[in-house]
Amino acid sequence: MTREQACAKIEEAISQMDYQGTPVEYYRYGNGHINDTFVVVCRLNNNATVKYLLQRINHEVFKNPEQLMSNIVSITSFLRGKIIKNGGDPERETLNIVPLRDGRSYYKDSIGSYWRSYLFIDNTVSYDLVNRAEDFYLSAFAFGNFQRLLSDYPAHTLYETIKDFHNTPVRFENLKRAIDTDICGRVKNVQKEIEFALARESEVGILLEKQKKGELPLRVTHNDTKLNNILFDKNTNKPLCIIDLDTIMPGLSVYDFGDSIRFGATTGAEDEKDLSKVNFSLELYKAYVKGFIEGTEGSLTDNEIDMLPMGAKLMTYECGIRFLTDYLEGDIYFRIHREDHNLDRCRTQFKLVSDMEEKFDIMHEIVNKYRP
């Protein structure tokens, strides 16, 4: 089924939502690659209009939409309570689910597509790229504050929406299996990359081992901490709301920190072919460390702070081996737009890892500078 076919019952889904007023218009919104997102415009009795966000959940990626929505309902309700207690605006500072007419949080239509709706948060903007260190600092503060607000949430009660998402040892074993089977005959093309990946086997289990020993606490983690998953207020440019909660699940705080560094503290695009343009930026790293630690406001443990540099390195390495695995298996997971696209992505991640290793002592010094 194509995405267009999967969205065929959008009007059926709209009819089930407990919207104010009468729906008069809907249109596609945003540039997400996984879910399908629309704005629904409803007209009230006084002729004013109100907007809602409507999404078709991609249940090919998220195999259990019921559990996914259970996580989101629980987390957004918890955040709403915290925001009200802190004197904030709960309709702008967190996502708010619009229930169905029967009170449920999602709708399964007559062709098997899953739908959910949120209040539309107006007068906001999101950014796809880090253009200024200040924006990266603000994003770090936002994700750090997200950690702080959820620091007393019982993370173990959440469902794992994508199994082994940040289980680096499992990702490593997947890579070794892809090398051994070599179903596309591509191993011969990437000996240098394979050697780089296998040479770091001793580090793949560091974070999970520390968790097992009780040295790193289980946290609520977002797991997709890119800049474009924050809504900024158009008037003040202050970070307002963390969005895209589909990958909310139990994890480690350093996962979220590390994924942000992987994505943002670089001088090149994720798929840049010219590796001379790809370097790890200590300036952007410093901005993010400062913002993240300030945002968490003392809610991180000393061990978590100690492991922030390793989180940055390991999340970048993990992403690199995922790109390499997908390349070896025939580009079946990550969408590609050109030949060797996943290989180019792999190489940028490994370049960043190599650069981080050279600057690792400085990365620790920066963390210690901003340690509470």
Dihedral sign of CA atoms 325, 329, 332, 335 in order: positive
86-137: pLDDT as tens digits: 999 999 999 999 999 999 999 999 999 999 999 999 999 998 888 889 999 9
For residues 71 and 245, the answer to whether their CB atoms sit within 8 Å is yes
Superfamily of domain 133-370: Aminoglycoside phosphotransferase (APH), C-terminal lobe (3.90.1200.10)
pLDDT at 96: 98
pLDDT beyond 90 at 239: yes
Report the range of poorest mean pLDDT among 28-32, 81-85, 280-284, 364-368.
28-32
Report the range of poorest mean pLDDT among 28-42, 83-97, 208-222.
28-42
The average pLDDT across 198-227 equals 96
* pLDDT classification of 33: cutoffs 50, 70, 90: low
Question: Which residues on adjacent β-strands are paired with residue 106?
Answer: none
d(CA 317, CA 346): 9
pLDDT beyond 80 at 31: no
pLDDT at 335: 81
pLDDT beyond 90 at 4: no
d(CA 105, CA 44): 23
For residues 120 and 39, the answer to whether their CB atoms sit within 8 Å is yes
Q: Which secondary structure element, helix H or strand E, spans residue 96, and what is its range?
A: none
pLDDT at 1: 66
Decide: helix, strand or coil at residue 104.
Answer: coil
Q: pTM for this one?
A: 0.93
Report the range of poorest mean pLDDT among 5-19, 41-55, 288-302.
5-19
Task: Name which CATH class applies to 3-122.
Answer: alpha beta
pLDDT at 80: 97
Of 254, 256, 276, the residue nearest 267 (C-alpha)? 276
d(CA 13, CA 110): 9
In one-letter notation, the amino acid at residue 287 is A
pLDDT beyond 90 at 355: yes
Instruction: Show the tokens assigned to 344.
Output: 């180019």
62-78: pLDDT as tens digits: 889 999 999 999 999 99
pLDDT at 5: 78
Could you tell me which residues come within 8 angstroms of residue 123 by beta carbon, excluding any fewer than 6 positions away?
233, 234, 235
pLDDT at 131: 80
Question: Which residues on adjacent β-strands are paired with residue 280?
Answer: 266
d(CA 129, CA 139): 11
For residues 110 and 9, the answer to whether their CB atoms sit within 8 Å is yes
Average pLDDT across the chain, whole number = 95
Whether the domain at 3-122 and the domain at 133-370 fall into the same CATH topology: no
* pLDDT classification of 30: cutoffs 50, 70, 90: confident
Phi (first) and psi of residue 52, to 5 degrees: -130, 155
Q: Label residue 67 exposed, middle or buried (CB < 10 Å: 0-12, 13-18, 19+).
A: middle
The average pLDDT across 215-226 equals 96
pLDDT at 130: 82
Report the range of poorest mean pLDDT among 8-17, 33-42, 233-242.
33-42
Phi (first) and psi of residue 14, to 5 degrees: -60, -40
164-190: pLDDT as tens digits: 999 999 999 999 999 999 999 999 999
The average pLDDT across 326-346 equals 93
pLDDT at 179: 98
Decide: helix, strand or coil at residue 309.
Answer: helix
Q: What percent of the chain has pLDDT over 70?
A: 99
Of 328, 326, 318, 327, the residue nearest 350 (C-alpha)? 318
The average pLDDT across 147-166 equals 95
Instruction: Show the tokens assigned to 102.
Output: 């029967």
Structural domain boundaries in the chain? 3-122, 133-370
* pLDDT classification of 3: cutoffs 50, 70, 90: confident
